[in-house]
Amino acid sequence: MTVHTPTSATPYGTLPPASPMPQRSPVSLPRLAQMRAAGEKITMLTAYDATFAAMADAAGVECILVGDSLGMVCQGLHSTVGVSLDDMRYHTACVARGLHRAQATAWLIADLPYGSYQASREQALHSASALMQAGAHMVKLEGGGWTAPTVQFLTERGIPVCAHLGLTPQTVHALGGYRVQGRDDVAAALLRRQARELQDAGASMLVLEMVPAGLAAELTQTLTQCHTIGIGAGNGTAGQVLVLHDMLGVNLGKTPKFVRNFMQEAGSVQAAMQAYVRCVKDGSFPDNQLHAW
């Protein structure tokens, strides 16, 4: 059988050997839709540089997110609000180069940072184009309601969009902190409406962050054209995402309750990434009991 292994010798040392993964074709939107139809969970991890991106791909992660969480884990900021479009462009290009050098096949998503898409649809197009030209395959933006026309504007122009509802870190100050969203009936109804609008506007993926597991599972059933990716949203979503530093247990701040430290169990970065993929696919992560809000 042909295998897919990362390059182990680098100019800086030798990476731990990875278990061979079956070779896969490049991850694309049709491929993600096929996985969903077949009931296979989609895995997503953040990466901010070339090496970790190539390692995540070699571990079998389908989607790599250059998240604006880089503000916290790379830049030492207290929130994602200080991350600029230039920062995102730089890290997206680093990740894209790493994937290209490793002949990797993951789907690359880049966050539109705070202040780069709120002013107008044209501003969003300009910012999204910069990230696509840096190597992204899709852009992610936060919020519902007012974002639907922007999503439509981008998707009509050939830019795939991932939406993000629930806890939206760029609006943490307006939300009053990093807390669970969609808990009461009114908030849940709003989330349902916004999710439907985003799907209708053309979003093909939707990150649901810190929303009750039951609501996330219900949205997953209703949104047939838009793949839900959960983070702190139980295990009923079409896929899962974690921040790389959180799952490796090297977070400088407070580790969210829904995170599992895969490094502790695995012993190497590559094995931790492989364990994450395995646990998401077999449904053992996340544990609905532990992460029900």
Q: Which residues are catalytic?
A: 209
Considering the complex, state which of residue 21 and residue 81 has its C-beta at the smaller distance from ligand KIV.
Answer: 81
Q: Is 207 in the site for ligand KIV (CB under 6 A)?
A: yes
Q: Which is nearer to ligand KIV, 231 or 272 (CB)?
A: 231
CA distance 140 to 208: 12
CB 267 within 8 A of CB 273: no
Relative to beta strand 13-14, strand 3-4 is unpaired
| Residue 214, phi then psi, degrees to nearest 5 | -65, -45
Name which position in 15, 52, 54, 69 contacts ligand KIV (CB under 6 A): 69
Residues 111-150 within binding reach of ligand KIV (CB under 6 A): 111
DSSP state, residue 286? S
Residue whose beta carbon is closest to ligand KIV: 67
CB burial of residue 104 (10 Å; 0-12, 13-18, 19+)? buried
Q: How far apart are CA 126 and CA 144, in angstroms?
A: 20
Q: To the nearest whole angstrom, how small is the minimum distance from the Cβ of residue 57 to ligand KIV?
A: 17
Q: State in angstroms the smallest separation of the CB of 229 from ligand KIV.
A: 7
Q: How far is the CB of 46 from ligand KIV (least distance, A)?
A: 4
Size of the site for ligand KIV (CB under 6 A): 10
Q: Are strands 107-111 and 138-142 parallel, antiparallel or unpaired?
A: parallel
The angle subtended at Cα 232 by Cα 75 and Cα 92, nearest 5°, is 35
Asked whether position 205 contacts ligand KIV by CB under 6 A, the answer is no
Q: H helices of the chain, where?
A: 29-37, 50-58, 70-73, 85-101, 121-133, 147-156, 172-175, 185-200, 213-222, 244-247, 262-266, 269-281, 288-291
Give the range of 3-11, 62-70, 99-107, 277-285 binding ligand KIV by CB under 6 A. 62-70
The site string for ligand KIV over 222-251 (x = CB under 6 A, - otherwise) reads ---------x---------x-x--------
CB of 113 to ligand KIV, least distance (A): 9
Considering the rule CB under 6 A, would residue 46 count as an interface residue with ligand KIV? Answer: yes
Give the phi and the psi of residue 16 in degrees, each rounded to 5.
-60, 140
Cβ proximity to ligand KIV: between 15 and 259 the closer is 259
The residue range among 9-17, 65-73, 95-103, 264-272 that interacts with ligand KIV, by the rule CB under 6 A, is 65-73
13 bridge partner residues: 10
What tokens were used for 125? Answer: 């197009």
Shortest Cβ 87–ligand KIV spacing (Å): 12
Per-residue binding letters, 78-97, with ligand KIV (x by CB under 6 A): --------------------
Positions in the binding site for ligand KIV (CB under 6 A): 46, 65, 67-69, 111, 207, 231, 241, 243
